[in-house]
């Protein structure tokens, strides 16, 4: 008899929250870089500017919204992907084909992106607040305060501003992270050189993080611009045109900090997830 551990549906959300606590300053710097109208500061310069002007703790502005986002967006996409994958895996003779992982990841990510849009918008606003003049700051106390104030002051529709971009990005990043992680791990284990251990988890998640960064960066830039806008854009098409006017590389503004943030976040998420699964997962004896 062999014992196998399966992930519980909520482990993805918990693992993502753990990773977000570690990588939040990088996410904040990425948002600041993406919302520059002109490229004035690079990653180190932006981080230095934030610390000098607002203090070290400003690097953690919007952390509550980031955790709220992970418990809506990431929990949903992981729950859908892993639950369906495990059900299909238990009824078939082998692992899912890669194209099925891609389709499942896209569906789970699209759904999670829509569910997490309100928290994501508040997260972007809270992170962007520190670089605005005091009279223009929204000054949300925390994520729940931000959600309530947006609903009261701007209406329900505003809470889902940028939902199309957020959902599309969610689909792409989930394909890059979950589908590519599963496939990379399967290929690594298939070589017989490495076992199901921490090194395999690290290598597979590093590959997945790189794939996710490349796939989602253009949509990530547009999503950030839409969510942080004060009415400059009339819609997705207008935002696309205005961004395109800055040149094709405008869609990859902040690519390096995005990768520096997303790859460690992906690695930490799966490292935490694998440990949660190994210690607290559902035991399957076959």
CA distance 263 to 241: 29
* Predicted TM-score (pTM) of this structure: 0.81
For residue 179, the tally of other CB atoms under 10 A from its CB is 27
Number of domains the chain contains: 1
The enclosing domain of 54 has a CATH number of 1.50.40.10
What per-residue confidence (pLDDT) applies to 36?
Answer: 66
What per-residue confidence (pLDDT) applies to 102?
Answer: 96
Question: Is 286 domain-assigned?
Answer: no
Please give the chain's pLDDT, 286 residues, in tens.
Answer: 566 788 899 999 999 999 999 988 887 787 777 666 665 667 777 778 778 877 888 788 778 888 998 999 999 999 999 999 988 877 777 788 999 999 999 999 999 999 999 998 888 888 777 777 887 888 888 889 989 999 998 888 888 887 887 898 899 999 999 999 999 999 999 988 888 999 999 999 999 999 999 888 887 788 777 767 777 777 778 888 888 888 877 887 777 777 887 899 999 999 999 999 998 988 877 6
What per-residue confidence (pLDDT) applies to 2?
Answer: 66
Q: Would the CA dihedral through 107, 112, 117, 120 be positive or negative?
A: negative
What per-residue confidence (pLDDT) applies to 270?
Answer: 97
282-285 and 3-6 strand pairing: antiparallel
CA distance 97 to 182: 10
Question: Is 165 domain-assigned?
Answer: yes
Question: Is 13 domain-assigned?
Answer: yes
Instruction: Choose among 59, 53, 73: nearest CA to 21.
Output: 59
Q: Which domain holds residue 78?
A: 3-280
Question: Is 77 domain-assigned?
Answer: yes
Beta strands (DSSP E) in 135-180 are none
What per-residue confidence (pLDDT) applies to 82?
Answer: 93
What per-residue confidence (pLDDT) applies to 115?
Answer: 94
Q: Look up residue 27 and give its two tokens.
A: 């996410």
Residue length, the chain?
Answer: 286
3-state secondary structure of 282: strand
Strand partners, 4: 284
What per-residue confidence (pLDDT) applies to 40?
Answer: 66
3-state secondary structure of 167: helix
Question: Is 248 domain-assigned?
Answer: yes
Q: Which contacts (CB < 8 Å, 24+ apart) does range 53-59 have? A: 53/130, 53/131, 54/130, 58/130, 59/24, 59/25, 59/28, 59/29
Question: Is 171 domain-assigned?
Answer: yes
Which phi-psi region, left, alpha or beta, contains residue 39 (left: φ > 0; alpha: ψ -120 to 50)?
beta
Question: Is 285 domain-assigned?
Answer: no
Question: Is 199 domain-assigned?
Answer: yes
């Amino acid at each position: 008899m062999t014992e196998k551990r399966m992930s519980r549906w909520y482990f993805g959300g918990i693992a993502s929250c753990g990773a977000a606590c570690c990588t939040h300053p990088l996410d904040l710097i990425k948002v600041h870089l993406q919302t520059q109208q002109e490229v004035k500061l690079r990653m180190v310069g932006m981080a230095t500017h934030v610390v000098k002007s607002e203090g070290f703790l400003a690097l953690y502005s919007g952390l509550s919204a980031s955790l709220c986002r992970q418990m809506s967006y990431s929990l949903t996409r992981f729950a859908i992907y892993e639950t369906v994958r495990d059900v299909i895996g238990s009824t078939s003779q082998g692992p899912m084909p890669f194209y099925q992982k891609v389709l499942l990841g896209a569906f789970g990510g699209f759904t999670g992106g829509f569910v997490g849009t309100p928290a994501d918008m508040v997260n972007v606003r809270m992170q962007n607040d520190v670089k605005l003049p005091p009279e223009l700051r929204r000054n949300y106390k925390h994520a729940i305060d931000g959600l309530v104030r947006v609903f009261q002051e701007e209406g329900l529709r505003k809470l889902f501003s940028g939902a199309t971009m957020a959902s599309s990005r969610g689909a792409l990043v989930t394909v890059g992270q979950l589908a590519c992680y599963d496939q990379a791990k399967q290929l690594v284990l298939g070589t017989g050189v490495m076992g199901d251990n921490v090194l395999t988890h690290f290598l597979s998640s590093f590959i997945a993080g790189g794939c996710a960064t490349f796939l989602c960066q253009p949509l990530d830039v547009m999503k950030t611009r839409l969510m942080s806008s004060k009415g400059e854009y009339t819609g997705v098409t207008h935002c696309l045109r205005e961004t395109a006017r800055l040149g094709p590389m405008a869609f990859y503004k902040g690519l390096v900090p995005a990768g520096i943030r997303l790859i460690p976040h992906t690695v930490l998420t799966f490292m935490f997830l694998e440990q949660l699964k190994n210690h607290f997962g559902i035991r399957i004896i076959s």
